[in-house]
Amino acid sequence: MPAVGGIGPGTGKEYPGNLTPYVMVTCIVAAMGGLIFGYDIGISGGVTTMTPFLKRFFRSVWEKKEADKSKNQYCQYDSQTLTMFTSSLYLAALLSSIVASTVTRKLGRKLSMLFGGLLFFAGALINGFAKAVWMLIVGRILLGFGIGFANQSVPLYLSEMAPYRFRGALNIGFQLSITVGILIANVLNYFFAKIKGGWGWRLSLGGAMVPALIITVGSLVLPDTPNSMIERGQTEEAKAKLKRIRGVDDVEEEFRDLVAASETSKLIEHPWRNLLQRKYRPHITMAILIPFFQQLTGINVIMFYAPVLFSTIGFKDDSALMSAVITGVVNVGATVVSIYGVDKWGRRFLFLEGGVQMLICQAVVAACIGAKFGINGNPGELPKWYAIVVVLFICIYVAGFAWSWGPLGWLVPSEIFPLEIRSAAQSINVSVNMLFTFAVAQVFLTMLCHLKFGLFLFFAFFVLIMSVFVYYFLPETKGIPIEEMSRVWKSHWYWSRFVEDLDYPNGGMEMGKGGQGVKDV
């Protein structure tokens, strides 16, 4: 095994196992849970630029937009009600992810996915038939409940099913389906906006029923993970399932380790209170800071509001939706690069390279918008070359995010938690993600109105901070079995002071038995 994070070769375990077609299919079906999140991110930004939708539900925004095209472009979409339509979903997702933690732990990952699909379906149905703003908001809240359940269970499911050597690539399937969902939503918005009679927005919002059905049906046919089965006392079935997943009969060592990890987790009556223990300090820090930083890259601003943003910087509605489709294609392509590279180049390399790329692009976009729009937000006529430069740099920025903070923001937290705190810690990860998605969505249009082009510099500052954080504090987790992850903390220059030998007496492992331990470093 290659040296990782300061651990010498030959010190870790290598569980036997292959990347079987069975695992590939189950991981692809489970990853479809990301479609509902991605479709929603893409659809909400596009719908809010459709004139019939604005005229019907947000007339004041439409009137402000139509009143005088020569006025301050930075402020034309500044409406708290419109923003509440978009961001209410994330508040609901935050609340439901806390409930989803208990469901995922007690009833299994599958059931959590099923609840997610059903709630999302109900929300899409209400939104598609909405007659008033309150119906839109209720629909969005139900969509949010669905996303909370799916985002809680799918990354855990993928990390537990995948053989450790391929865990990164299979887990990023979740992020890939988010990006595919965004792209599909952008393409549909482009065509639905052209429907005569102005009811295309109903198809956009109601179309969310399709990804909801995919994850609902998928959750009924998927097997449960061996970790989850052991946690619920189905030990023999779990062993048979592990043999089938790994494609080999020799699963004794991995199975013993899973059972030992489960026994440790059963001793913990209050996983939430347990999170506060000193030995979990590194885990809780990552569960909070990684999703916090992921939202402050500014990506959701680009993705939710890409059509609004492009419309604001002078593109017409039609070309604004087309520009959003282009960024969607880049997003999917770059995520595929991440799937190829994450288990080859490692997590840290992708985090740091993506950070540098985003930082440069945000500075260039801020300079471009600042030069043309100035402080008053009135650009006059925009030359075509200028529009192309802005879209080009936004695309390079999206690519940098899509092979770094995008997929790794979900992968790294889902693979570092020991079983005894896994559901609770993943819940914190999702909650922090949704809280800051909500906060950024809620204040973005107001910030754009007040900070103007400086908004991109605001996010660039956080990209610099997060890159420094990764460089100094995030250990490499490539190629390390999920139940043996504690050794990366024990060998880290800073986190080792929190993780003592007494915490994991068996050579730095999270379980108490199961073969030889890892040598101390």
Classify residue 394: in a domain, yes or no: yes
Whether 456 is in a domain gets the answer: yes
Q: Tell the residue number behind the tokens 């930082």, with chain if given.
A: 359
- Report yes or no: 320 and 391 within 8 Å, Cβ to Cβ: no
Task: Report the chain's C-alpha Rg in angstroms.
Answer: 23
> What per-residue confidence (pLDDT) applies to 8?
29
Question: 383 exposed, middle or buried (CB, 10 Å; 0-12, 13-18, 19+)?
Answer: exposed
DSSP 8-state symbol, 518: P
Nearest to 322 by CA among 205, 191, 178: 191
pTM metric for this prediction: 0.79
Judge whether 242 lies within some domain: no
Residue 334 amino acid letter? A
Instruction: Return d(Cα 282, Cα 268) in angstroms, integer.
Output: 19
In a domain, 509, yes or no: no
Q: Look at residue 2 in the predicted model and tell me its pLDDT.
A: 26
Q: Where are the beta strands (DSSP E) in 60-141?
A: none
Instruction: Let me know if residue 420 belongs to a domain.
Output: yes
Query: If phi over 0 gives left and psi between -120 and 50 gives alpha, with beta otherwise, what is residue 45?
Result: alpha
Does residue 323 fall inside a structural domain?
Answer: yes
- Lookup: tokens for 346: 């490692």
- Residue 330: which domain range? 21-224+268-498
C-beta atoms surrounding 472 within 10 Å? 10
84 inside domain? yes
Q: Looking at this protein, which amino acid is placed at residue 108?
A: G
What is the tally of structural domains in the chain?
1
232-234-238 Cα angle (round to 5):
115
| Helical residues (DSSP H) of 374-453, grouped into ranges | 384-402, 405-416, 422-451
Q: Could you list the pLDDT tens digit for every one of the 521 residues in the chain? A: 222 222 223 335 667 777 788 888 888 888 888 888 899 888 887 787 788 888 888 887 788 777 756 566 667 666 777 777 777 888 899 889 888 888 887 888 888 999 999 999 999 999 999 998 889 889 999 999 999 998 888 888 888 888 878 888 888 888 899 999 989 998 898 888 888 888 889 999 999 999 999 889 988 888 888 888 888 788 888 888 888 888 888 778 888 888 887 887 777 667 778 888 888 999 999 999 999 999 899 886 676 556 666 766 666 667 767 777 888 899 899 999 998 999 899 999 999 999 999 999 989 888 887 887 766 666 666 677 777 787 888 899 999 999 999 899 988 988 888 877 887 888 888 889 889 888 887 787 778 778 777 888 899 999 999 999 999 999 998 888 877 888 889 889 999 988 876 555 444 444 333 333 333 33
The CATH number covering residue 80 comes to: 1.20.1250.20
What is the pLDDT, as a whole number, of residue 517? 35
- Please state, in angstroms and rounded to a whole number, the distance separating the CA atoms of residues 13 and 83: 50
Amino acid at 75: C
Burial class (CB in 10 A: 0-12, 13-18, 19+), 70: exposed
Contacts of 254 (CB under 8 A, 6+ apart): 15, 16, 17, 242, 246, 481, 483
Q: Can you read off the two tokens belonging to residue 195? A: 């429907």
Confirm if 50 and 193 have CB atoms less than 8 A apart.
Answer: yes
| Residue 370: inside a domain | yes
Map residue 520 onto helix, strand or coil.
Answer: coil
